Amino acid sequence: MKHALMILGFIVFLFSPSYADIYKYTDEDGIICYTDTPLSKNANLVMREKTEAKQSQPNTTRKISQDSTNYHSLVHEKATKYKIDPLLVNAVIKTESNWNEWAISKKGAMGLMQLMPATARELKVSNPFNPEENIEGGVRYLRYLLERFNGDLTLALAAYNAGPTWVEKFGVIPPITETKQYVRKVLSLYNGNTAHPLTELDSAQDKPERVYKVVLKDGTVLFTNSTFLVKNTVGF
């Protein structure tokens, strides 16, 4: 089965404030697709077009602020509910998505706290791009990991990034460079040391991945990081 990730996060930054409705669906090969034209009855609307006619209607979509201001009350509420320090939740969100509620990773993790699809389903998070649902699920999952690893914050954070199975396999932070750097960044932010050395690997990971615009024969527009439709792609 082929696997490719259609990246919605890039669409937000690559277009002006006016953009088309964006739908999400999974095709017969299991590929997650985002498009402005729904090709399946199971397609879900994840972003609505902004137009002058719609400006008078209530806008329930939060503006991407890349800071904690818009989410302070939500973080405090969920952290208190699950008995976790709000500052720790802030550090996780900053590291995971930089406060971008529409963020999608290369592996498919979504939203502020970067929940993987399977984890979101287990946590009953129906819309991972909804800030309240995402933070609720992420904080709840973090509490679960803290209990699973007997309150060891380092191991819990490693498990949040790499998965609990890898942590249990080694008994320490797994020998995965990304996970080691992730734990270091979160703990650095949590302890108040916002600056951390930028390694060559950090720079490579932060470098934007090339995204392709695919125009199908029927005019449907898709955005993807895969080149399997290379004949109809325009890179940017």
Name 204's Cβ contacts closer than 8 Å, sequence gap at least 6.
none
> CA 132, CA 139: separation in Å to the nearest integer?
11
Report the DSSP pairing between strands 44-47 and 212-215: unpaired
> CA 59, CA 63: separation in Å to the nearest integer?
10
96 is catalytic: yes
Could you give the C-alpha distances from 92 to 143, 164, 220, in angstroms and in order? 13, 17, 37
> CA 231, CA 226: separation in Å to the nearest integer?
12
Which residue among 96, 101, 133, 136 is the active-site one? 96
Name 211's Cβ contacts closer than 8 Å, sequence gap at least 6.
7, 10, 14, 223, 224, 225, 235, 236
> CA 46, CA 48: separation in Å to the nearest integer?
7
End-to-end CA distance of the chain: 27
Name 15's Cβ contacts closer than 8 Å, sequence gap at least 6.
none
Active site residues: 96
